[in-house]
Amino acid sequence: MRYEGRLYRPPSEAQSYILQATVGCSWNRCTYCDMYSDKHRFRIRELVESLEDIGMAGAQFGPRVEKMFVADGDALILPMDHWEAILDRASDTFTNLRQVSCYATATNILEKTDAELLRLVELGMNLLYIGPESGDEETMRRIAKGPRPDGYSRSDDYLFDTHVEAAQRAKAAGFRISTIFLLGAGGVERSEAHAESSARLITAMDPDYLSALTLTVVPNTPIARMEANGKWTLPSVMDLLGELRTLVDQSRPTNALFRTNHASNYLPLGGQLPTDRQRIVETLDLALSGAIPLRPEWSRGL
Ligand code: SF4
């Protein structure tokens, strides 16, 4: 197992074997993100290297590996010949493998045909982490959440719609999907629209897992420069919690495991939606009234 640069994975993949089959993010333009700033040029690792890594992990961990997370930032972009070989080798090597997952952009999913998505599921891949971050078209556009076609007009809901289509196609192929939303992404100016439209997008994508992270302004990112120039302001902690309340209260997923267990959040919460909606909203109301202590600033992380 050989790794290049900083590695990122969702909190729920803490026990997973991480295979770094790509290096960096093929998009790498979201204005708040510096996750792969140490990897300026995205590249797909040589297939032979990825297969060797699986062999090394097999020798070291063998049947103890039950979950494999394929990194880095949008590994679904891997071509099908890589996926076929990686997933075949993984299932031969890790006899107790029950979950294979990766981060995916909406574009990554839409660039795969239905037959390719079905084939990935057939080969054992079963979970995609998708981060629209917001459902507010204006916010998504401002944070550069994915490519837009020429002729895109201000009234189009292109980014919203592509995320819905990507979710529908992934789920139709048999994937479970985990969606990630970013509290604060709209700044003060779009805070309400960001929260309300994110709830709409959650309903439309209907994820199996839903998590919210809190935006941390990282030095030297475009959003940090906008903040320094007075063009963007992060909402207050209480307003960020208010966004979370709107997200939970207004979204209507069929049955989603909801979590705010990421280190960036001020209040770790969890439950099933819609079953636990009322309890979670009441907890948020207590936090908003000051009756529940929040995670101190020093203990938060990216
Ligand atoms: S797609 Fe993800 S990893 Fe890539 S720049 Fe955006 S937030 Fe960062």
Residue-range domain boundaries for the chain = 1-103, 135-290
Distance from residue 125's CA to the centre of ligand 1 (Å): 21
Q: What is the per-residue pLDDT for 25?
A: 95
The preferred substitution site among 6, 22, 26, 27 for testing ligand 1, maximizing ligand atoms within 8 Å of CB, is 27
Confidence (pLDDT) at 185: 98
Query: What's residue 155's pLDDT?
Result: 64
273: left (phi > 0), else alpha (psi -120 to 50), else beta? beta
pLDDT of residue 270: 95
As a whole-number percent, the residues of the chain with pLDDT over 90 amount to: 88
Place 9 in a pLDDT band, splitting at 50, 70 and 90. very high
pLDDT at 154: 66
Name the residue at shortest CA distance from atom 2 of ligand 1.
73
Q: Does domain 1-103 have CATH number 3.90.1580.10?
A: no
Q: φ and ψ at 67, to 5 degrees?
A: -135, 140
Tens-digit pLDDT profile for residues 82-116: 999 999 999 999 999 999 999 999 999 999 999 99
Q: What is the pLDDT of residues 262-290, one digit of tens each?
A: 888 889 999 999 999 999 999 999 999 99
* 22 within ligand 1 shell (Cβ under 6 A): no
Q: Tell me the whole-structure pTM to 2 decimals.
A: 0.96
Is there an atom of ligand 1 within 6 Å of 173 CB?
no
Ligand 1 lined by 247 (C-beta under 6 Å): no
For residue 217, is pLDDT > 90?
Answer: yes
Mean predicted confidence (pLDDT) in 16-34: 96
| pLDDT greater than 90 at residue 146 | no
CA 36 to ligand 1 center in whole angstroms: 8
pLDDT score of 43: 96
Taking the C-alpha atoms of residue 41 and residue 22, their distance in angstroms, rounded to an integer, is 11
94 lines ligand 1 (CB under 6 A): no
CB distance 104 to ligand 1 below 6 Å: no
Phi, psi of 87 (to 5 degrees): -70, -35
The answer to whether the CB of 204 falls within 8 A of the CB of 164 is yes
- Could you give the residue ranges of the DSSP H alpha helices within 62-190? 80-93, 106-110, 114-122, 137-142, 158-173
Residue with CA at minimum distance from ligand 1 atom 4: 28
Residue whose CA is at the smallest distance from ligand 1 atom 3: 73
Provide the percentage of residues in the chain whose pLDDT is more than 70: 98
pLDDT surpassing 70 at residue 183: yes
CA terminus-to-terminus distance, the chain: 25
| Beta carbon of 28 within 6 Å of any ligand 1 atom | yes
- What span, in angstroms and rounded, lies between the C-alpha atoms of 7 and 70? 11
Q: Ligand 1 centre and the CA of 30: distance in Å? A: 6
- CA distance to 28, 46, 136, 198, 277, per residue, from 32 (Å): 10, 30, 16, 18, 29
Angle at 114 between CA 113 and CA 118, to 5 degrees: 120
| pLDDT over threshold 70, residue 26 | yes
Q: Is the CB of 143 under 6 A from ligand 1?
A: no
Q: Which atom of ligand 1 is nearest to the CA of 27?
A: 4
Q: Are 213 and 183 in contact (CB under 8 A)?
A: yes
- Is pLDDT of 302 > 70? no
Nearest to 104 by CA among 200, 173, 187, 191: 173
Based on its alpha-carbon atoms, the radius of gyration of the chain, rounded to whole angstroms, reads: 19
Residue nearest to atom 5 of ligand 1 (CA): 28
- What Cα–Cα distance (Å) separates residue 238 from each residue in 124, 175, 228, 234? 42, 35, 22, 11
Write down the pLDDT at residue 151: 67
